[in-house]
Chain A
Amino acid sequence: MVMLHTVNKSPFERRTLDTALRHAVKGAGILLIEDGVYAAFDGTVVAEKVKAAMADHKIYVLGPDVAARGMSEQNVIDGVQVVDYGGFVDLVTEYDKVQSWL
């Protein structure tokens, strides 16, 4: 069973990204939404952790939430896939279950 984990808090505010990564099995997807999108940017203190996690997980970030924060998709870590809300819906249906880390 492959699960999609959504993380909606900034890694600079809460530990939910760490918790999600600790529980996610190999092959699980991680979708960063709302303030969670801050984990997707390169050059931050959590960027290396996210890059390391990409060995075992596909990582996605919600594009509209990146734009809503005045951030550019060009700053998103290479290999992190940017999706829109339609893509969010597709991920929910493609993975077997959804776990929202709040």
Chain B
Amino acid sequence: MKLSILVNEGPYQHQSADSAIQFTKAALARGHEIFRVFFYHDGVNNGTRFAVPPQDDRNITAQWTALAEEHNLDLVVCIAAAQRRGILDENEAKRQGKDGNNIAPGFRISGLGQLIEAGIQSDRLVIFGD
């Protein structure tokens, strides 16, 4: 089955960011297709490569990046939510006159249309949030 995931909560807030990745791993293990993972609201904070959690703690962003590489996942960060929270890719940094970017490998920045499309194209949309 074709599934999409919506993540509305940042990492290390409560548990939803963890639940989302655990669910995604289990769905892939079951042989389902993950059409897209969309990060919205504080969920965009899952997409920064500048976070440095303690070494004995899980690194949620690195887990997403590894999963995206392994399974060719489409990890999409909402552009408006990202701009508010300082999540930038190279193009956005240039466009906004910022001195650097922090988007993590495997993530891309795009618009809400990508969420709508995920909802239309997928058999199920599963929402994780606070």
Contacts and interface: CB of A to CB of B under 8 A. Distances in A.
Interface residues of B, number: 23
Contacts, number: 50
A86 B26 CA distance: 5
A34 B14 contact: yes
Interface of B: 1, 3, 8, 14-16, 19, 22-23, 25-27, 29-30, 32, 123-130
A15 to B, nearest CB: 15
A86 B23 CA distance: 8
Contacts of B15: 8, 34-35, 65
Prevailing SS type, chain A contact patch? helix
The bracket for how many chain A residues form the interface is: 10 to 19
B129 A102 contact: yes
17 contacts: A8-B15, A33-B19, A34-B15, A34-B16, A34-B19, A65-B15, A84-B26, A85-B22, A88-B23, A89-B23, A92-B124, A97-B124, A98-B125, A98-B126, A98-B127, A100-B126, A100-B128
